[in-house]
């Protein structure tokens, strides 16, 4: 038995004796015989050193990002996390606690969540943030349902360039209440939203919300964002924003966003193959009673001192049940803590400087790749920060990336929906400037791309 279950001095026998029974089996007489099982077939247990060896052996079959010149990014990021962030996350008072149902015993986490909410409010220019959702995609899903509570209608408009995973998640969130998700076409030259399409759709009615992302699914910045809200009028605008970009880009609340969601993994959280992640959500104060998820609020204790508690809980599933604003119970509190500790350790100037240096690298990268025959890089003319889209003139993105991989380059993320029959468009790749790349890696990518595309095509 693992030593995590104590039987010191035969304590199990003492527990049984106290109950006046001779076997634990007597505690399972309420499970009918016909429902009982024999062996599960799980295999034997192991001692801790064996477990460590076994798992290390499996993990050795991974080739982490550090083994490559890596240009994979998008919604998930590999950025250096200062050791101080993990030191705080490793405080077991934080990581072994539960949702702060007893606020007096949980002031530490509640205050950290309040600080996290405050930071997302400052970044977005909105009034209220919740204490986190699962990830960026599900936060967008909650944004869709939230928009529907603010406005009548059945149609939710999203950029056609939205990453396929987010589109699929949104379609699932829309399906319950019988809503539809529709694409806003983009300009083939710039990759930016067709605002006339939005105008016409909104005028024809039945649109209850519009989502726009910054940077968009192609990695580009769409100036049309600032024109959206006047077109929408009282139709809610949901903006999905990269948090780092908001250190240098206008706060979406300032150009009319009613909701700002996002993926917070890039702030102090290891990519860990995509999870745990961090869903971000902010809205206007007048709509807070329709918001999903936990919210930490400031109040007073019985001696009149500042204290914090989860609040506005009548919105939530444990009180409102089938009429709750969301089913969310467990969220990503520890990741929210990582977010605020990371931002505080790096500081506002450090964050903006990081964004700035990534943008510089992306320009060098774009010009290096732009000179590779067979690649259109960047594919779109709109400005960009650290990601942009590359299009292959021939061959498949997958084959191209495979060839790069053999030369120790992870060249980016294919944009196509991998489900059979879902994608027939041009072969495009989202390429990202990441903190670990320098001039050397950029030249390595360009050389590998040249080699991959020369001699008999890439497919």
- Interface with another protein in residues 96-135 (CB under 8 A): 96-109, 111-115, 117-119, 121-123, 127-129, 131-132, 134-135
Complex with another protein: residue 48 or 200, whichever CB lies closer: 48
Question: Could you count the other beta carbons within 10 Å of the beta carbon of residue 435?
Answer: 14
The least CB distance from residue 166 to another protein, in Å, is 7
Size of the site for another protein (CB under 8 A): 205
For position 82 contacting another protein by CB under 8 A, the verdict is yes
For position 424 contacting another protein by CB under 8 A, the verdict is no
CA-based angle 180:255:150, to the nearest 5? Answer: 40
CB burial of 372-407 (b: ≥16 within 10 Å; e: otherwise) equals bebbbbbbbebebbbbbbbbbeebebeebbebbeeb
Complex with another protein: residue 203 or 329, whichever CB lies closer: 329
445 close to 71: Cβ distance less than 8 angstroms: yes
- Interface with another protein in residues 345-404 (CB under 8 A): 345, 347-349, 351-353, 355-356, 359-360, 362-363, 383-385, 401-402
Alpha carbon 199 to its chain centroid, in Å, reads 29
Q: What is the DSSP string of 416-435?
A: S--STTS--S--EEEEE--T
The least CB distance from residue 204 to another protein, in Å, is 25
Complex with another protein: residue 342 or 372, whichever CB lies closer: 342
The least CB distance from residue 143 to another protein, in Å, is 14
Q: What is the CA radius of gyration of the chain?
A: 25
| Choices 1-9, 148-156, 194-202, 203-211; region in contact with another protein by CB under 8 A | 1-9
The least CB distance from residue 235 to another protein, in Å, is 21
Contacts of 362 (CB under 8 A, 6+ apart): 384, 385, 386, 387, 388, 432, 433
Complex with another protein: residue 204 or 424, whichever CB lies closer: 424
Complex with another protein: residue 147 or 351, whichever CB lies closer: 351
Q: Which one of residues 228, 333, 377, 431 is an interface residue with another protein (CB under 8 A)?
A: 333
Convert residues 237-276 into a mask of x (bound to another protein by CB under 8 A) and - (unbound). ---------xxxxxx--x--------x------xxxxxxx
Residue 94 has φ and ψ, to the nearest 5°, of -80, -55
DSSP H/E element including 289: none
């Amino acid at each position: 038995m693992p030593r995590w279950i104590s039987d010191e001095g035969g304590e199990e026998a003492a527990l049984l004796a106290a109950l006046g029974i001779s076997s634990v089996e007597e505690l399972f007489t309420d499970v009918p015989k016909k429902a009982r099982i024999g062996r599960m077939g799980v295999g034997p247990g192991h001692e801790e050193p064996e477990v460590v060896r076994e798992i290390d052996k499996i993990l050795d079959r991974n080739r982490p990002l550090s083994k490559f010149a890596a240009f994979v990014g998008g919604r998930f990021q590999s950025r250096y996390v200062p050791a101080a962030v993990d030191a705080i996350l490793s405080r077991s008072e934080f990581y072994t606690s539960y949702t702060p149902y007893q606020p007096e015993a949980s002031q530490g986490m509640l205050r950290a969540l309040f600080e996290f909410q405050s930071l997302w409010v400052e970044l977005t220019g909105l009034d209220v943030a919740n204490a986190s959702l699962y990830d960026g995609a599900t936060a967008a899903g909650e944004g869709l349902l939230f928009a529907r509570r603010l406005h009548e209608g059945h149609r939710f408009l999203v950029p056609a360039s939205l990453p396929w995973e987010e589109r699929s998640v949104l379609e699932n969130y829309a399906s319950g209440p019988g809503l539809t998700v529709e694409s806003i076409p983009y300009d083939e030259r710039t990759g930016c939203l067709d605002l006339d399409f939005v105008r016409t759709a909104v005028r024809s009615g039945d649109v209850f919300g519009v989502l726009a992302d910054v940077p968009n699914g192609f990695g580009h910045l769409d100036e049309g964002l600032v024109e959206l809200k006047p077109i929408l009028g009282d139709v809610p605008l949901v903006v999905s924003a990269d948090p780092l970009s908001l250190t240098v880009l206008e706060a979406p609340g300032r150009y009319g966003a009613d909701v700002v969601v996002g993926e917070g993994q890039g702030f102090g959280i290891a990519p860990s193959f995509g999870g745990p992640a961090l869903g971000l959500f902010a809205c206007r104060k007048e709509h807070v009673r329709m918001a999903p998820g936990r919210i930490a609020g400031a109040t007073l204790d019985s001696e009149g001192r500042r204290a914090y508690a989860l609040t506005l809980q009548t919105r939530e599933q444990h009180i409102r049940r089938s009429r709750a604003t969301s089913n969310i119970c467990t969220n990503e509190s520890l990741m929210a803590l990582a977010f605020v500790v990371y931002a505080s350790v790096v500081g506002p100037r450090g964050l903006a400087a990081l964004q700035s240096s990534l943008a510089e690298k992306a320009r060098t990268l774009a010009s290096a790749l732009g000179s590779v025959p067979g690649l259109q890089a960047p594919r779109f003319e709109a400005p960009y920060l650290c990601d942009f889209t590359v299009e292959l003139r021939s061959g498949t993105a997958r084959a191209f990336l495979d060839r790069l991989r053999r030369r120790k380059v992870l060249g980016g993320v294919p944009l196509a929906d991998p489900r059979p029959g879902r994608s027939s468009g041009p072969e495009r790749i989202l390429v990202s400037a990441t903190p670990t790349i320098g001039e050397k890696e950029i030249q390595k990518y360009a050389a590998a791309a040249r080699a991959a595309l020369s001699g008999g095509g890439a497919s």
